[in-house]
Amino acid sequence: MSEPSTSPVPSPAPVQSNFIRDIMIADRESNKYGGVVRTRFPPEPNGYLHLGHAKSICLNFGLAAEFGGTTNLRFDDTNPEKEEQEYVDSIIDNVRWLGFQWDKMLFASDYFEPIYQWAVQLIRAGQAYVCDLNAEEVRQYRGTLVDGGKHSPYRDRSVEENLDLLARMRAGEFPDGSRTVRAKIDMGSPNLNLRDPVMYRILHATHHRTGDDWCIYPMYDYAHGQSDSIEGITHSICTLEFEDHRPLYDWFVDQLGIHHPQQIEFDRLNLTYTLLSKRKLLQLVNDGHVRGWDDPRMPTLSGIRRRGYTPEAMRSFCGAIGVGKTNGTIELGLLEHHVREDLNKRVNRVMAVLRPLKVVIENYPDDLVEELPAVNNPEDESAGSRTVPFSKVLYIEQDDFREVPPKQFYRLSPGKEVRLRWGFFITCTGVVKNDAGEVVELRATYDPATRGGNSPDGRKVKATIHWVSAAHALEAEVRLYETLFSKENPNQVEEGGNFLDNINPNSLEVLSGCKLEPALATAKPGDRVQFERLGYFCCDLDSTEGALVFNRTVALKDSWAKIEKREKGK
Ligand code: ATP
Ligand code: MG
């Protein structure tokens, strides 16, 4: 078939020792945090969750559950310009879909007042100051990895002046960017994060929750640890890029003398042919490269869900990849492997013909319809069986016929006999061509003695193909997907280019006029099935009764595609 080939499937990763779990076990043994495990998942509501977030969710919720602890869902909403309620709603929906239940749902913006009061406390203690340098000057004064930084000329303001300026910043007296509040730490530190980091900036922006209550907003590094602390988080799990922010995380909670959660960093998930960055995914949506955040090609949880991935498959994938301390890239094939494994167990098989070729069974009675028994799922007896109607005119897949069969092509060709799944043996007796010389219809005969798929005389056929009775077929649109990017690493670009250059122009193929067996008449959006020999499919949100639409979730492993590829390569 001309379907996209599937990626090679690596064997599932062995269960790795999990260093975060080890830390939790040690902390329980030493009675740190009174033996309690409390984690949080802290998304910024500036986009939809992606597969990388699923790893973080599984880790945070999974570990807490394992130790009898709890997990909060906390929105890290300190950047009002980029955040929206739509994103909050989608995140809530996606975490639930993945199968996790939070203890409390909270917002960093709920803590704006205590976080502000802590800034007052730090100023009083001489550990923070209001700085009048602009962003560019702050950068210049900070210095580089080789040079130390310079003290801001405003560093030694009196406590009274700082308190007055802070109050006036909050009251809205100053324009955006004109002043900041900075922690007074160490301008000579080899860790740039400790060179008097900015705690507050002025931003006259309407926040999706606090409206216009605030015109100063705390920076991530200043808000995050204190939010964790307020919630009594014990283990604050984040990705590796925050490793050298940890000294700052620790500095704030130590200076404030409040509950001190332990920050632990793990490796980000990267996947081949995939980008996991909300900013870039937003660009794909805004520039119309995809149909939206939930486009089935998107690596968002909304996208893969619409495509037909299951939460069970996502969780088993996240378990298999484990966590570590070095960033790497996981094969997309491994994710697809987990999806197939799960769908194989749970979904019913049906027959669907995507690119139909009509076959007329010449020796079959004109008005006869036989209902042939078919097993729904050979992996699950409880799925039961159904019948499939058989009649004189059928559709088979165009690719299952070759007028001049190449070597190793065992399916239908003139004079050859094949088995129709759940049906009969048929032999191709002739072809009908159009003016252009293309085969548009086949003639065949069937052997009534082979009903159910076996020949009483022990005659063997080498291929079994799927089919649909023309008179009973449902029409459908089927959407086939390839990877959204054609490069294994979509960030790898020519000089002056960007990731958009690596978009795969063939990532979506829409087939109309596909023929489905009548069992699918009642299919509803979200229903998953296997189309025999073609892959796993999921009924799309666009589907309506009478105008069915299916997405291909993932192809089956296709041995013929491999042979064909090898032959072509010769
Ligand atoms: P992005 O760069 O896509 O915006 P982010 O890290 O800024 O990601 P947040 O909403 O701040 O996104 O992340 C919420 C949590 O998910 C954080 O703890 C973050 O470390 C984690 N996370 C984000 N991306 C990944 C990833 N690729 N792999 C594992 N965890 C991730
Ligand atoms: Mg972020």
Pocket test for ligand 1, best of 55, 90, 98, 239 (most atoms within 8 A of CB): 239
Question: Is residue 330 pLDDT above 80, yes or no?
Answer: yes
Segments of 222-333 assigned E as strands: 235-239, 262-266
Is the distance from the beta carbon of residue 245 to the nearest atom of ligand 1 less than 6 Å? no
Question: Is residue 504 pLDDT above 60, yes or no?
Answer: yes
Q: In what order do the strands lie in the sheet with 393-397?
A: 464-465, 417-420, 425-433, 439-447, 356-361, 393-397, 467-469
Structure tokens at 287: 């520039």
Average pLDDT, the chain: 94
Question: Is residue 380 pLDDT above 50, yes or no?
Answer: yes
Question: Is residue 456 pLDDT above 50, yes or no?
Answer: yes
Region 25-36: what's the mean pLDDT? 96
| Nearby residues of 522 by Cβ (< 8 Å), 6 or more positions away | none
For the segment 88-131, what is each residue's pLDDT rounded down to a tens digit?
999 999 999 999 999 999 999 999 999 999 999 999 999 999 99
* Catalytic option among 55, 157, 184, 278: 278
For the segment 312-329, what is each residue's pLDDT rounded down to a tens digit?
999 999 999 999 999 999
CA atoms within 13 A of residue 28's CA, in its CB half-sphere: 14
DSSP per-residue string spanning 320-332: HH---SS---B-H
Give 286's pLDDT tier (boundaries 50, 70, 90): very high
What is the residue with the minimal CA distance to atom 13 of ligand 1? 43
Please state at what angle helix 159-171 crosses helix 112-124, rounded to 10 degrees: 160
Q: Which atom of ligand 1 is nearest to the CA of 239?
A: 20
pLDDT of residue 5: 38
Is the distance from the beta carbon of residue 74 to the nearest atom of ligand 1 less than 6 Å? no
| 334 φ, ψ (degrees, to nearest 5) | -70, -40
Is 278 a catalytic site residue? yes
* Catalytic option among 44, 161, 312, 477: 44
Segments of 113-255 assigned E as strands: 128-131, 180-183, 198-202, 216-218, 235-239
For the segment 510-534, what is each residue's pLDDT rounded down to a tens digit?
999 999 999 999 999 999 999 999 9
Is the distance from the beta carbon of residue 276 to the nearest atom of ligand 1 less than 6 Å? yes
Cα–Cα separations (whole angstroms), residue 218 to 28, 118, 225, 444, 479:
33, 11, 12, 75, 45
Secondary structure string (H, E, C) spanning 524-570: CCCCEEEECCCEEEEECCCCECCEEEEEEEECCCCHHHHHHHHHHHC
| Nearby residues of 465 by Cβ (< 8 Å), 6 or more positions away | 396, 397, 400, 411, 412, 418, 419, 420, 421, 533
CATH fold for the domain made of 20-103+267-338: Rossmann fold (3.40.50)
Question: Is residue 31 pLDDT above 70, yes or no?
Answer: yes
Give 25's pLDDT tier (boundaries 50, 70, 90): very high
Question: Is residue 498 pLDDT above 70, yes or no?
Answer: yes
The second-level CATH assignment, the architecture, of 113-220 is: Alpha-Beta Complex (3.90)
| Nearby residues of 14 by Cβ (< 8 Å), 6 or more positions away | none
Cα separation, 294 vs 297, in Å, equals: 8
Q: How far is the CA of 80 from the centre of ligand 1 (A)?
A: 18
Structure tokens at 364: 């079959």
pLDDT of residue 546: 86
For the segment 535-563, what is each residue's pLDDT rounded down to a tens digit?
999 999 999 988 999 999 999 985 555 56
What is the residue with the minimal CA distance to atom 2 of ligand 1? 277
Cα separation, 354 vs 347, in Å, equals: 19
Please state at what angle helix 311-321 crosses helix 51-66, rounded to 10 degrees: 80
Residues of the chain with CATH 3.90.800.10: 113-220
Structure tokens at 237: 């799990």
Q: Which contiguous run of DSSP H or E holds residue 114?
A: helix 112-124
| 117 φ, ψ (degrees, to nearest 5) | -65, -30
Residues of the chain with CATH 3.40.50.620: 20-103+267-338
Q: How far is the CA of 85 from the centre of ligand 1 (A)?
A: 18
Residues of the chain with CATH 2.40.240.10: 349-569
Homologous superfamily of 349-569 in CATH? Ribosomal Protein L25; Chain P (2.40.240.10)
Question: Is residue 8 pLDDT above 90, yes or no?
Answer: no
**Cβ-contact 465, 357 below 8 angstroms:** no
Pocket test for ligand 1, best of 50, 56, 92 (most atoms within 8 A of CB): 56
Give 13's pLDDT tier (boundaries 50, 70, 90): very low
pLDDT of residue 11: 38
For the segment 473-491, what is each residue's pLDDT rounded down to a tens digit?
999 999 999 999 999 999 9
Is 567 a catalytic site residue? no
Name the closest ligand to CA 271.
1
Task: Give, rounded to a whole angstrom, the gap between the first and last alpha carbons of the chain.
Answer: 19
Cα separation, 251 vs 244, in Å, equals: 12
Name the closest ligand to CA 233.
1
Closest C-alpha among 33, 101, 110 to residue 72: 101
Q: How far is the CA of 50 from the centre of ligand 2 (A)?
A: 12
In 382-490, alpha helices (H): none
Q: How far is the CA of 71 from the centre of ligand 2 (A)?
A: 19
Question: Is residue 14 pLDDT above 60, yes or no?
Answer: no
Is the distance from the beta carbon of residue 189 to the nearest atom of ligand 1 less than 6 Å? no
SS3 content of the chain, % helix, strand, coil (to 5): 35, 25, 45
Can you say whether the dihedral through the CA atoms of 336, 339, 345, 351 is positive or negative? Answer: negative
Q: Report the share of the chain in percent with pLDDT over 70.
A: 95
* Catalytic option among 21, 32, 82, 268: 268
Q: Is 205 left (phi over 0), alpha (psi -120 to 50) or beta?
A: beta
Which residues are paired to 71 by β-bridges?
39
Q: How far is the CA of 52 from the centre of ligand 1 (A)?
A: 6
Closest C-alpha among 298, 283, 248 to residue 50: 298
Longest dimension (CA), the chain: 102
Q: Report the share of the chain in percent with pLDDT over 90.
A: 93
Structure tokens at 211: 């409206």
Question: Is residue 16 pLDDT above 80, yes or no?
Answer: no
For the chain, what is the radius of gyration of the CA atoms? 31
Segments of 362-463 assigned E as strands: 370-375, 385-390, 393-397, 417-420, 425-433, 439-447
Is the distance from the beta carbon of residue 239 to the nearest atom of ligand 1 less than 6 Å? yes
